[in-house]
Structure 1
Amino acid sequence: MTDTSTNQDTPPTLDIVDQGRGQSCVKLSGSWNLRGLLTAPDLGRKISSYAANKNIQWDMTPVDVLDSASALILWKAWGKKLPLALQLKPEHQRLFDLWQAQPPPESEPGGYSSSLAIKYVSQLLANFWGQLLQLVTLLGQLFLDMGYLLLHPGDIPWSEISITIYESGVRALGITALVGFLIGIVLSYLSALQLKIFGAEIYIIDILGLSVIRELGPLLAAILVAGRSGSSMTAQIGIMRVTEELDALSAMGISHSLRLILPNVMALTIVLPLIGIWTSALALIGGMVSAQNTLDISYLQFFLKLPDVVPLINVLIGLLKSAVFGLMIALIACHFGFRIKPNTESLGNETTNSVVAAITVVIMVDAVFAILFMNVGMP
C-alpha cells in the first residue's frame, strides 16, 4: 500500500503557499513514510495546527511516497474526513479511502465507571447462578443413577469405586497423619500455656477432645483431600476431555455420570469419614504427647478421662460432617472437570478453581453444621 516509484530518501516537507485574496495552501512534498516522519518530529504538530483552519487548501500532488502510517496521521488531523479543497494523486487516494471505509477502533477510556462495575458484578452473579444450577443438575443425575443401580445392582462400578478409595483414602493416610499429629501438638502446647495461668491443666483433655473430634479432625481431612484428591479428579476428567476420551465414551453409549461421577462421589463419601477418624486419632496422640511433656498428664489419665468429657454424639457429628464433605468435594471436582475445554490453559484454570471452590464449600458447610448442632453434644 505504498508508492515506491520515486526515491524514498527524500525527507518530508510542509510549506505554506500564499495564493492571494487571503487564501493559503498547505503544500506537502517528499517521502511521507514512517522513517521520514521520525526525522521530522515537528511535522505532526504543524499538521494539527493547520488542520484547525477548515478553509485552508491542501496540495499533496508533489508527495513522492505515502504510506499507511502517514495517511493515518493526516486522517486524524483532518478530523477523520478529507478536506474540501484537497489535491492528491489517485494512488494516494486509495489509502484515505481505506480509512474512510473502515475507521480504526478507538481505545477505551481509562478508569472504571459505575456501569462497568455493575456489569462486572452482574456477570459474576450470573456465572455463580449458572454454576449452581449445573451442580444441582449434577446432583439430580446422581440420584437418578443411584436409583438405576438399586434396580440393576450388577451395573455397580465396583472396580472404579475401589480404585478411587485407594487413591483418595489409602494414599492420603501419610499426609493426613502428619498434619493431624502436628496440629495436635500445636493446639495442646498453646492451650497448656493458658491453662497453667489458671491452674486448670486437666481441662486440656476437654479442649483437645471436643475441638479435634468434632471440628479440626474432619475439617483438616476434608481440606487435605480437597487439595490432593479433588484436584486429581478434576485434572483426570479434564485430560479425558483433551484426549477426546469423553467423546469416545459418548459414542459408545457409556454414561459419564455412571462411570465417572458416581464412583468418585461414592468413594469419597465412604472414605472421608474414615480419614477424618484417622486424622482425629493422630491429632489426639500428638496432643497427648505434648500434654504429657508440658503439663505432666499421663497417657492413661488422658485415655480414661476422654470418654467422659467427649460424648459419643460428637463422634457421630464428625462422621456425618465428613460424609457431607466428601460428597461436596467429589461433586465440585467433577463439575469443574466437565467444564474444562480441550486446551491446557483451561485445564490449569479449572483445576485451580476446583480446589478453591471445594475448600470454600467445606468451610461453609462446617459453619452450617456448627450452627445447627450448637447445643448438641456439649458435656
Structure 2
Amino acid sequence: MPRRFSLYGVQHLSLRSWILSIIVLSVITNEYLIYWLQSWRWPTLPVHERNPEREMVILLVSDPQIQGYQDESPFPLGMFTRWDIDRFLSRTFSLAFDYSQPDAVVFLGDLMDEGSKATTEEYQYTLSRFHNIFYPVENSVVIFIPGDNDIGGEGRDYRTPWKMSRYEESFGNISGLVNVGFVDFIKLDLQFHHEMPPYMLKLIAEVNQKSSAPIRIIINHDMLLPKMKFFIHPILRLVRPHLLLTGHWHEAIHFDCVDCMAENTDSSHWPVHRKDLYMKHYIDLDLSDPLAIHELMVPSCSYRMGKKDMGYGVLVIKPDGKMKFTVLWLPHRYTMLFYYLYLSSVLAVIATCVWVYKYLRTVRHLSR
C-alpha cells in the first residue's frame, strides 16, 4: 500500500501522486498559463475608434528565423527543438494578433534561418511550417521583406538569382511599394556590405514616383541610420520617408536625428542618436517634422536568437504623423526550459532517496 503523508492530521496524497501533480501543474503553467499572464501585462492598445482612415494599427514581426534542418541537432533532438520553437512562435503570434487586430502585418526579414542554403525539399518543409505558425490572417494586409538568411548577402553566403527567385515565388517581390490606406510601405533591399548596385537609386526613384500617401514608411531588414552618411543620405533625400522600420540586430532600438533631412554637404554631420528600448508602455513620436527622421528597430520574436528579450512591435499611427509605438514582450522560454531541467533533477533526487530508503528498510526487516 502506498505511503501517505499527513499534515496537521489531514490525510494527503501519496508521494507518487504529489510528484505527478507537480509535473502536471508545471506543464500547464509553462505551456499555457505563462503566455496568457505575459499578454495581460501588455499595455492597453491606445485605439478608441477602429477606423483605418483615421488611425492605423501595424503589427511588426522581425527575425522569426524558422529553424531549418542542416544546422539543427540530428534526430530526435532536432525534431524536438524545431517543434518547440514553432509552438512558441505560433502561440505568441496568435496572442499578439488578437491583441492588436492590425490593419497590416509587416515581416521585417530573416523569415527562415536556412532559407538561403536550404535544399528545395527543406525549403518547402520550412515554408509549410512558416504558414502554419503565422496562419493566414483576416482583414489584414501582410507585407514581407527578405533578410540575409532568406536570400543571402552576408559574409560568404552570396546572393544568386535562384535564391531571389525562390523567395519571390513564396513571399512576393523583394522591393516595391505597398499601399495600405494613408500609408505607403516602401520595401527596400539595401545592404551596406558592398557598393550599392547602380540600379538601386533608379529603382528607389521609380518606387518613389508611385508613392502618394500622406505617410511614407521605408521597411528594410538591415539598419539604416547607423550607416555612414554618404550611403544613406541620398536615399533619404530621394524618398523623404516619415519613418524607417528595420530588424537584423534582434534588439529594440530607437535611432533619431533632428536634422538629418536637411541640406548639408558636411559628411561628418550625421547626428544620429541611439536609445535602447525596454518600455512597458507606448512611446510617442511625432513624424511631422520634415527635417527629422526616426528609425525603429524591432527585436526578434524568436528565443533562438541568443537575446534575453523578444517581442513583437506595434505601431498606432495617424495621417498627421502622430504615432505611438511599443513592444509586446514575450516570456523567456529558456528560463522555462531550464526550470524543467531543474525540476527533473530535483524529482530524480527525491525518487532516488525514497528508493534507497525503502531498500534499506527492506534489508533491515529481512535481517531481523
Work out whether the TM-score is over 0.5.
no
Larger Rg: 1
Q: Tell me which interval the TM-score lies in, with the shorter structure as reference length.
A: under 0.3
Structure in which a larger fraction of residues adopt strand: 2
**TM-score calculated relative to the size of structure 2:** 0.21
More helix by share: 1
